[in-house]
Amino acid sequence: MEKTWLDLAGDVVVITGALGGMGRKIANDFAEQGAKLALVDLNEEATQSYAKELNNTYGVEAKGYACNSTVEEQVDALAKAVKADFGRIDVLVQTAAILTFSPLEDLALDEWKRTIDVNLTGYFLVSQRIGRVMIEQQSGRMVHISTIASIAPETYSGAYSPSKAGVNMLSKMIAGEWGQYGVRSNCVLPCFVKTPLSTKFYEDEEVEEGRRRMTANRRIGEVQDIANAVLYLASKRSDYTNGHELRVEGGFGNMIGDLVPKPGGRRQYAIDSKKPKN
């Protein structure tokens, strides 16, 4: 395959949550770049089927693996299998996550534990086992999907924000400890993006319009926006970026002042203030 700016052709990429809408788009874009793919999800038959689809479409080597990232023995087996099948692991992308809603005073302990297990403990186990391969080969790139809700709390979302805040710190620790071995770790923090986890939010037109107004770009993000960021951080083009949290949120973080009401609206207030005073 002809070399592209990202230069990902031939890289071995492990993607967790590969059957989700975000995982599928990211896998598709890596395949389009000529990367070799180890697709990971719970359903072995469906994961292998998607791997075959990418192989047929792009002519890349792709394999599907079943793994529950919260089960240590399964993650061990996954790392060994991918290393045996491909010989090395260049990139790890973690997308698997769950989101449930509850006021904290009503949040059941088992629900808290399940969210922490999937969203944080699973990320740790996969990072650790794949990381050992990367340390041995003295190179590797990790990209973890986090969220803006890891910085500003998604209230009434139970353990979701705490779990994703933990992912941010896990990534920083990986960068701090394994950077000396040529291993990089970064997070992508989406906000207001239509994903399988958030699609139901946008079924209400008022909610979608309200969220659109809260971004500087005045639009809701798409999975492609996330995939673009992931591929950049997974490429050698971001080689001096380590322990970073890349916000992919349409400028939402810049809009706090704009959301503070002023008489007649903020823009009109500014226009009116320039008119001559009687």
Domain range annotation of the chain = 12-274
pLDDT the model gives residue 101: 94
Report pLDDT for 270: 85
For 38, residues 6+ apart whose C-beta sits below 8 A from its C-beta are: 12, 13, 14, 15, 62, 63, 65, 82, 85, 86, 89
Q: How far apart are CA 129 and CA 145, in angstroms?
A: 18
CATH topology of domain 12-274: Rossmann fold (3.40.50)
**Residue 129 to residue 213: CA distance in whole angstroms:** 42
Which value, to the nearest 10 degrees, does the dihedral of the CA atoms of residues 71, 94, 208, 228 take? -170
Quote the CA–CA distance of 16 and 50 in Å, as a whole number.
13
Does the annotation count 123 as an active-site position? no
Q: Which residues of the chain have a pLDDT value below 50?
A: none
Q: State the Cα–Cα distance between residues 66 and 48, nearest whole angstrom.
A: 9
Catalytic residue selected from 65, 156, 160, 232 = 160
Residue 1 has a pLDDT of 66
**Dist CA 21 CA 27 (whole Å):** 10
Q: Could you tell me if 192 and 250 are in contact, meaning their C-beta atoms sit under 8 angstroms apart?
A: yes
Q: What is the mean pLDDT of the chain?
A: 94
Half-sphere exposure of 150 (CA within 13 A, CB side): 23
The one-letter code for the residue type at 10 is: G
**Tokens 């009503």 correspond to what residue?**
106
- Indicate the helix (H) or strand (E) that contains 198: none
Euclidean distance between CA atoms 90 and 26, whole angstroms: 15
E strands in 54-102: 62-66, 91-94
Neighbours of 214 (CB within 10 A): 18
> Of 49, 53, 4, whose CA–CA distance to 28 is shortest?
53
pLDDT in tens, 51-70: 999 999 999 999 999 999 99
